[in-house]
Structure 1
Amino acid sequence: RNHDYLTEIGLAAFDSRDMQHFAANPGPHAEKMLKQIYFYHFRILPNTHMVNRTWCVGVPENNRFGVTLFTTHEETKGMMKQSFNWPVDEADPLKGNCPVIFLGHAGHGDLQRLRDALGFDASGTVVRIIDTQVMARGLGLHHQQIGLGSLMSCYGCPYRDSHTAGNDAAYTIIDAILMAVYGRNVPKFSKTPLQVVDEVEEASIRRSVCDWGTRPSARAAMLIRICEKTVVRGPDA
């Protein structure tokens, strides 16, 4: 019930310059574009054992995109700072950092929460905030605040292992790209949306390269599961 604790962060990012190559031919269900995304899932030490079992029940171990990494508070802050400060040209630092478009699903308070929990301020590079709920209303997919699962179903794909930060971030960016590319009218393809998402999941694990955090050993993962079972209520990021 205490939302002051940050337990996990899901991050999905891409460079718009990579997407431009596939603007004319994004592939079935925008597959070529979706495979340009980098997916990250971070669990924050020492809050790893805290799992929300009351309101938005999720299982952090069921992350489907990228690889789960465990980070300390300082590592998490450094990772977020690096993520929001991509150089325009690594060979010429004077060109500054790329402008960032922050995408979320009903995420109006996400940046503030990162600021409160980590002391991290992304306002220096964020030039626009886009909400997939607003996108969906603009397309007439829903007149109210559509849930992420309902939005995924609009494009024929199930919302699996919900309320885990990495999965929620992934489905948010997948929905956004599908809305941007197809609007309400998705053509017929030989592949199903689920087949494409499965392939994106598999590709995301191979592409998961990160300088921050550590992967848990088998023993550490077992101890985390034991600790999680002892927690009746805990926060969810």
Structure 2
Amino acid sequence: MGRAGIPSPMTWNTFLANVLADQPDANVLRHFVGFPILGAPTMLNNAAIVCLDIEWWQMDPKPTTEIGIAELLSKGVAPSTHAENILMGVQAAHARLMDNAHLLNSFKGAGDPEVFSFGTSKFVTAEEAKQVIINTFVRPRHGGDGSLQPIILVGHAVDNEFNHIQEAFGVDLRSYGTIVKVVDTQVMAREAGIQGPNGPSIGLNDLLAYFNVSIENLHTAGNDAAATLIAAVLIVLKDGLYPLGKPPAVVQGRHIQDVVERVMAIGKSSPPPPWGRQRFCTRCDRENHVRANCFAKVNCEICRTSGVKKLYNAHLTHATSKCTYNHYSLPLPDHGSRKVTPAVLPLAEGNDLSKPDA
């Protein structure tokens, strides 16, 4: 036997994962917000609570466009009104992949990646994004004994994130042995009796609305990561914070929306992450300005020679390398004649301005 009754071949994180396996998701999170699990190993207190959200372009083959990471830094304290003292510890980061940052979704409710409400967005290469993910889940444990910090991963329909990260970056998050518990806010909401308008599974926006919270521009990865952690805290503390049933918006003169907006303000005033770059133009690929301030001359030969009037009129709005018609068939010509057949370029070079449904 090893330390504290742990079999010697077993790591601390494996031991913690076994201890938490039969614990409901809500119980695990409550451990960190004033309601500890009786008999839980002291090591559990060292765990990080992390939410990871991935966004991708919804057209095949669905390249990754954004990564959102949020962490709950306030732990081990009893909640105040609306759990404000705990929610103040939600810290979020937002990364946009440079190769795909121009690919914007257009489905109903799609987020605007240029509007990150909880901090400052950074642009990263695919390799930098991969390293950000790895560094999030592979960290030395405090204490300097060489072991890795245990991670409690929080997500909303979290299995989607595992699959996409594996496909996009070749990273199997479970392989590092640091994730000791996966917590799903959809599961916790269902177990707490919170249902969506169309059935037992509830979307993130509806879940927030249940608690009288409105966070604009969801489906932006950084916003979703922070919003998911906020929702997770409110779910597990629901009965204690709001013992009379449906959560009221105002408790002791404090509106829950004011609490959330304070979290946003703190994030906006905090230093951005050390990785990546803050300026990158998704129109001309320069790193000294952003798209809104771009006056570079660009031209798309595909649209210019398409024989489609609407596309021709847009050919000065984007470069050839950023045209979605690198990947999709052009519409039938409606004027002139088509002069070139566009070559198929790598996926990372699609376009957000000239779309197949234009």
TM-score by length of 1: 0.86
Structure 1 residues 58 and 3 mapped into 2: Cα distance closer, same or farther (>3 Å)?
farther
Are 2:272 and 1:216 equivalent residues in the alignment? no
CA contact (8 A) 1:6 1:117 kept: yes
Are 2:111 and 1:53 equivalent residues in the alignment? no
Which residue matches 1:5? 63
CA contact (8 A) 1:111 1:122 kept: yes
Which residue matches 2:310? none
Are 2:260 and 1:190 equivalent residues in the alignment? no
Partner of residue 144 from structure 2, selected from 81, 92, 98: 92
Kindly report which structure 2 residues correspond to 1:110-149, keeping only aligned pairs within 5 A, or say none.
Answer: 110-123=161-174, 124=176, 125-142=178-195, 144-149=200-205
Q: 1:231, 1:93 → 2: CA distance?
A: 54
CA contact (8 A) 1:40 1:68 kept: yes
Q: 2:356, 2:152 → 1: CA distance?
A: 34
Structure 1 residues 207 and 93 mapped into 2: Cα distance closer, same or farther (>3 Å)?
farther
Structure 1 residue ranges (4+ consecutive) displaced by more than 6 angstroms after TM superposition: none
Q: 1:229, 1:209 → 2: CA distance?
A: 26
Higher relative contact order (CA closer than 8 Å, sequence separation 6+): 1
Q: 1:34, 1:72 → 2: CA distance?
A: 31
Structure 1 residues 82 and 169 mapped into 2: Cα distance closer, same or farther (>3 Å)?
same
Root mean square deviation, CA, Å: 2.4
- What is the aligned residue count? 227
Kindly report which structure 2 residues correspond to 1:152-163, keeping only aligned pairs within 5 A, or say none.
Answer: 152-163=208-219
Q: 2:292, 2:145 → 1: CA distance?
A: 44
Structure 1 residues 208 and 105 mapped into 2: Cα distance closer, same or farther (>3 Å)?
farther
Q: 1:3, 1:146 → 2: CA distance?
A: 27
Which residue matches 1:34? 87
Tell me which amino acid in the other structure corresponds to 2:137: F
Structure 1 residues 139 and 231 mapped into 2: Cα distance closer, same or farther (>3 Å)?
farther
Tell me which amino acid in the other structure corresponds to 1:115: Q
Q: 2:151, 2:72 → 1: CA distance?
A: 10
Partner of residue 207 from structure 2, selected from 143, 146, 151: 151
Are 2:159 and 1:108 equivalent residues in the alignment? yes
Residue by residue over 1:195-232, the C-alpha shift from the partner in whole angstroms, topping out at 9 and shown as x without a partner, is 001100001122344221110167323268x6675153
C-alpha displacement at 1:29, in angstroms?
1.3
Q: 1:38, 1:93 → 2: CA distance?
A: 27
Q: 2:89, 2:115 → 1: CA distance?
A: 22
Structure 1 residues 46 and 229 mapped into 2: Cα distance closer, same or farther (>3 Å)?
closer
Percentage of identical aligned residues: 30
Structure 1 residues 140 and 233 mapped into 2: Cα distance closer, same or farther (>3 Å)?
farther
Q: 1:134, 1:64 → 2: CA distance?
A: 26
Are 2:126 and 1:73 equivalent residues in the alignment? yes
Flag structure 1 segments of 5+ consecutive residues without an equivalent.
none
Flag structure 2 segments of 5+ consecutive residues without an equivalent.
1-58, 281-287, 295-316, 319-350
Higher Cα Rg: structure 1 or 2? 2
Tell me which amino acid in the other structure corresponds to 1:6: T
Are 2:226 and 1:175 equivalent residues in the alignment? no
C-alpha displacement at 1:115, in angstroms?
1.6
Residue by residue over 1:30-56, the C-alpha shift from the partner in whole angstroms, topping out at 9 and shown as x without a partner, is 111111122001001110100111365
